[in-house]
Amino acid sequence: MRILLISDHADPLAQIGSKEAGGQNIYVLYLVRFLSQAGVLIDIYTRWDRKNKREIIKINGNLRVIRVKAGPKKYMPRDKFLDVVDEFAGNVLKRIEREDLNYDVIHTNYWFSGLIGLKIKEKIKKPLVHVYHSIGQIRFDSLKKFKLQEGENEFFKKRIIAEKEIARRADGIISTSPVEKVIIEKLFGISDEKIKVITIGVDTRIFRPLKMKKARKILKVENNKKVILYIGRIEWRKGVETLLCAFKEVKKKYRNSILYIIGGGKSVSVKKLEEAECKRLRDMAQDLNIEKDVFFVGSKKQRELYKYFSAADVCAVPSYYEPFGIVPLESMACGTPVVASRTGGLKFSVRYGKTGYLAEPKNCKDLGEKLIMVLENKKDFYRKDCISRVTNNFNWEKIVTQYQDYLNQLILKTK
Which residues are CB-contacts of 355 (< 8 A; sequence separation ≥ 6)? 332, 337, 338, 382, 385, 386, 389
Distances (CA, A) of 342 to 244, 356, 383: 18, 12, 21
pLDDT in tens, the chain (415 residues): 999 999 998 888 876 645 555 678 889 999 999 999 999 999 999 999 888 899 999 999 999 999 999 999 988 887 789 999 999 999 999 999 999 999 999 999 999 999 999 999 999 999 999 999 888 888 787 766 666 555 577 888 899 999 999 999 999 999 998 889 999 999 999 998 999 999 999 999 999 999 999 999 999 999 999 999 999 988 888 999 999 999 999 999 999 999 999 987 655 555 666 788 889 999 999 999 999 999 999 889 889 999 999 999 999 999 988 888 899 999 999 999 999 999 888 999 999 999 999 999 999 999 999 999 999 999 999 999 999 999 999 999 899 999 999 999 999 988 7
Residue range(s) occupied by CATH 3.40.50.2000 in the chain = 2-201+395-413, 212-393
Domain 2-201+395-413 has CATH 3.40.50.720: no
Determine contact, residues 130/174, Cβ cutoff 8 Å.
Answer: yes
For residue 109, give every residue at least 6 positions away whose Cβ sits within 8 Å of its Cβ, in sequence order, or none. 5, 6, 7, 8, 10, 24, 27, 28, 130, 131, 133
Q: Where are the beta strands (DSSP E) in 232-307?
A: 257-262, 294-298
The CATH number, out of the four listed (3.40.50.2000, 3.40.640.10, 3.90.930.12, 3.30.470.10), of the domain defined by the range 212-393 = 3.40.50.2000
Percent of the chain that is helix, strand, coil (3-state, to 5): 50, 15, 35
| CA pair distance 332, 209, nearest whole angstrom | 9
| Cβ partners under 8 Å of residue 47, min gap 6 | 8, 9, 11, 67, 68, 70, 71, 76, 81, 84, 88
Strands 105-109 and 356-359: unpaired
